[in-house]
Structure 1
């Protein structure tokens, strides 16, 4: 078999450099303040430095500090940097108090370190960004062209023109087609034919060539790549993935064969661990705080109507596996079969107390126990009854993709107003749309944002009957 090579991730070296410099800043700062205020660096400061570097690196990775856009723009990274450092400080304080070693640190030195480190991390990022924008703004290294006035080519051109953070200076689009065959929404002027582009490449008028021809034109793409082999330009293929709905897409090399996932989960490796840790910590804290409320609601349910306090219903969990979801019983009926009727306004099955706890989301509080059990997550698409899943998967496009993650107590759809009764197909479609947006864009930062917004507008709903 011919050696096809392995596709590597672009920018790996830059990302590694950022990680190394961040670690050096954290270490040098604590050594500097300890030497200044204490006069020496003891084993406790070295231990604190090690924990800080590991914690910050993990949190920064999860919060997107080392994502490609963050490497070029300070505004994308300052918030995650500060939050990563806050988490690091919190962990250090927990360790110090837990081991009872706080007396081994200078308060002035540690406070100076806590305050100065994120400032230096931000200044470092700012200086790098400023340097790149000044030195490389008009350089040969940044000049690029696009081959093909296709949907992918136009989208790439708009992305390049919308922000300078990518570090690309677009010369224009080249295409062999006649004007009447070009897209009507083409807002970028054509600079010539592909042959014109090749001649310009030979004269070193640009450095990068982005081939954005349709994927079906594989023979034509190969010819274009061969044309530019007669130049020193760097050639990139822009696959027309706009024909697919990518959800957490990833490159994966199976041996030497590159593959691309189209529909995938955001949870691999460390992100799985962090998501689970988030669920355990948050749900444990909430259960401790609401234990009196749980007791009061349980008494109210028992006193308002005969039947069990907890209603357990089958739902779909991650990967479509059935799970048992707990709720405080709010109805006289407990549907859990092939047909489950959604509650509607004035539904006679709902008790008076049940209407109150449904409207205020108190009926869902037992699901924090489901989170501890590992069946659910704090944040994720809301779980639907099995019968509703089987109904809507037939009529709502990409409905089952919401099960790429664990169902949640709150979610992106809920804080955007799609909570409660879905009495129209349009409402369900919008809920699924927001669920899939959450899966595509998942980050710890997004989870924190959703939890925060839920406190203010996610619990009370006029459509929760």
Structure 2
């Protein structure tokens, strides 16, 4: 079984933009600073860390299809000034380096000029590409037939460079040729017409309808945004964007969707997985291979298709802890007859999961994240448990918050899965690097303490 393939090429634009910027700032110092007796082994990592840190703080790469040119220019100016100051700050700590204000000014000026040109060309030609080819558009619908909703529809039609295709209004209060249907028909329409974004006028929808719509959007990976009006706005984690001068509210996404955070987490995953692969698996694999082979016939490693990021399938690796059987889509239970003697030890200590660091290195998994479920579990619980599909917004992990809180192993009741999903969603919505470190340390502690449901 495989997952549904979703997404568009836009997801590659920010990583490409970051790579271009880093290429520029890393190439030019070798020309401008060549006569300054600068130790590039220290300087290059320093300036990369500085650039990424500033970009994260000022949201330098938070540029969207509706972002105004003046806002992009503001980000470029702030990034350039702060980068210049921190480049200058490096030189007093390098005693043998010759300080040259001219070289630094030329380096930063040319770097920002090239980055500005690249960013402007990318921004400009993507808009032209949408207009000329009709590609990379987002399908949008609006709930409510209010003056503000009509203004937004007109904006979509007038500003084709924003890249939105308006498909219709939905309203329980209005009925005319412009309204596609009532609110109880919107879910079917969204799925059938591959709608990407749902815009909602707050004075045309009840709290219960809104709650149901947010859950629907989570389950189907749709974006929901709110059109502000005179009605008092409920307490939610909202942010405001401006499409020109038109304000639109949207639910805040997790930090894990920020390109710089994703890059930082990926670097951590690579370093941590290499330490485990070189320091542990390099000598543990031969030993376990002999023991596993002596006890039962079959391969040393067990691989199984699991749903990963965006529900795309990947092959999850483990040390084989069971006898060869035809019930691999059935999770292990207590005193499971399929489990071998060495398998019980490996499962009790979670050693069987160590090959998944190869999945982490390959980019299919992360060290910390929601544990990858069986496809059969996805099929069974995906439509029954609220926010279940939210766990596919990020890469699955070798360990996770639900696991260290005791919700691991066999799912005996729906309540077991509900509790697991609650912790998975909390992790996604409240991620921090410190939380990752706490989960890793707690995982190590639990391995030595032993866990009741580790079988």
Q: If the length of structure 1 is used for normalisation, what is the TM-score?
A: 0.49
Q: If the length of structure 2 is used for normalisation, what is the TM-score?
A: 0.50
